[in-house]
């Protein structure tokens, strides 16, 4: 089915013939329409729904928020042998907790004089590691990463790479290790447990940047859960952005499955995200991938010398759902100095052809304003963004989650 004819308003020259369904809305920053097509029809936005998830998280927590992972002990430390005579408990819901953070935990425990746990490793319900949704498996991965005799090559490499990245050669002079002699179990910290350490994740804005560059579904679902799930995200968008209830339906905060949004509603979400970031002197490029520069979903799009850095956007792809769904939502810069916000939603067709068509629409709009021009942008490697985390002594600072953490 071809939708580029009767449903087109504004500048039809920007809109190419495409086999499938298409909705387009492009506007200048002041709200003038540049291109419009099927703006009130509902489409599957695929992973572009993550823009709503990111906006909900920023409104709820703020860009400086850090996820906490608390470490507890249920027994006494025998300094002579370096043994914790009891259980070690780890509680938290950090969506970015990974191998390098576990090895860092081993280092911090070593500095407290702990090299062995006589009891069990208890992880709280909801604890995850290495993007694994299973708490039990995550606990097992944590046990393995703590213990140098069990530690995988990948875990050791992740730790080494991160320490080198932050110029922490001192931590590489020794090999951190904590042996868990008991089992891995799932449960809450017992009443007698005392806090040892608190791990703080990187800032939320940096986690969102990595999430959106790679379109990480796991992280999006986890962050979506922290704000109450899909319906809480929908309710926030409807209330804060004045979106009509029949324009936006969400079944997942990652974009998997069947979600529905009109181009007009998605434009409100994009503008809402931009405004929320501006409140903290941030821009869309602080959370969304910059085409041709950042690694991930836009790494290989808009890569010519003149295009590189001129598009900041979120992609979406579902190869089979709704007959193939694809989207591109973001902003473009032009030589005239004009910035254009755009929403392009496609479904029921070939996703590769949809992507090329989206790129063609963006290029046509840029050329109508003198051609593409780069946004001001200083890239930071994703690994460096996620390296901005640390452990603090929980007792001394009072920065740990309560024992009844869900």
Query: What SS3 state is found at 351?
Result: helix
Q: Count of CB atoms within 10 A of residue 211's CB?
A: 27
Q: Which runs of E-coded beta strand occur in 6-94?
A: 8-10, 21-28, 33-37, 68-73, 76-78, 83-85, 88-92
Global pTM value: 0.91
Spatial CA neighbour of 342 closest among 277, 280, 291: 291
> pLDDT tens, 345-371?
999 999 999 999 999 999 999 999 999
In tens, the pLDDT along 153-178 reads: 999 999 999 999 999 998 899 999 99
Closest of 255, 240, 95, 105 to residue 178, by C-alpha: 105
Indicate the pLDDT class of residue 12, thresholds 50, 70 and 90.
very low
Token output for 199: 């791990």
- Rounded-to-integer distance, Cα 188 and Cα 97, Å: 19
Query: Strand pairing of 311-318 and 260-261?
Result: unpaired
Whether the per-residue pLDDT at 406 is higher than 50: the answer is no
- The CA distance from 356 to 171, in Å, is 47
Q: CA 38, CA 261: separation in Å to the nearest integer?
A: 12
Q: Say how many Å lie between the first and final Cα of the chain, rounded.
A: 49
3-state secondary structure of 255: coil
Angle at 349 between CA 343 and CA 352, to 5 degrees: 75
**Residue 322 tokens, joined:** 């709704």
Q: Can you give the pLDDT at residue 394?
A: 54
263-285 pLDDT, tens digit per residue, is: 999 999 999 999 999 999 999 99
CA dist., res. 104 & res. 106, Å (int): 5
């Amino acid at each position: 089915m071809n939708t580029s004819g009767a449903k087109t308003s504004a500048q039809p020259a920007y809109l190419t013939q495409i086999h499938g369904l298409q909705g387009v809305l492009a506007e200048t920053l002041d709200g003038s329409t540049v291109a419009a097509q099927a703006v009130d029809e509902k489409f599957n936005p695929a992973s572009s729904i993550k823009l709503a998830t990111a906006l909900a998280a920023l409104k709820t927590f703020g860009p400086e928020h850090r996820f906490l992972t608390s470490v507890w002990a249920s027994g006494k430390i025998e300094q002579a042998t370096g043994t914790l005579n009891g259980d070690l408990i780890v509680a938290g819901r950090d969506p970015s907790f990974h191998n390098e953070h576990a090895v860092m935990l081993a280092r911090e425990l070593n500095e407290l004089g702990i090299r062995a746990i006589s009891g069990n490793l208890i992880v709280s319900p909801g604890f995850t590691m290495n993007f694994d949704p299973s708490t039990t498996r995550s606990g097992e991965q944590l046990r393995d990463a703590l213990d140098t005799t069990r530690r995988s090559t990948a875990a050791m490499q992740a730790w080494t790479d991160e320490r080198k990245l932050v110029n922490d050669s001192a931590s590489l002079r020794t090999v951190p290790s904590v042996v868990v002699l008991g089992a891995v179990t799932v449960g809450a910290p017992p009443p007698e447990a005392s806090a040892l350490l608190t791990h703080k994740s990187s800032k939320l804005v940096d986690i969102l940047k990595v999430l959106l560059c790679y379109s990480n579904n796991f992280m999006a679902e986890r962050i979506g859960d922290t704000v109450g799930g899909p319906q809480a995200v929908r309710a926030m968008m409807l209330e804060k952005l004045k979106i009509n209830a029949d324009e936006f339906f969400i079944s997942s905060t990652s974009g998997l499955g069947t979600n529905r949004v009109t181009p007009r509603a998605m434009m409100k979400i994009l503008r809402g995200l931009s405004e929320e970031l501006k409140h903290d002197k941030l821009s869309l490029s602080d959370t969304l991938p910059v085409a041709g520069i950042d690694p991930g979903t836009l790494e290989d799009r808009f890569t010519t010398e003149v295009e590189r850095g001129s598009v900041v956007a979120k992609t979406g792809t579902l190869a089979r759902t709704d007959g193939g769904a694809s989207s591109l939502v973001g902003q473009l810069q032009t030589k005239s100095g004009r910035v254009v916000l755009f929403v392009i939603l496609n479904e029921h067709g070939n996703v590769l052809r949809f992507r090329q068509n989206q790129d063609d629409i963006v290029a046509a709009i840029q050329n109508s304003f003198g051609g593409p021009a780069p946004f001001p942008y200083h890239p930071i490697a994703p690994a460096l963004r996620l390296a901005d985390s640390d452990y603090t002594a929980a007792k001394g600072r009072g920065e740990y989650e309560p024992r009844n953490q869900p």
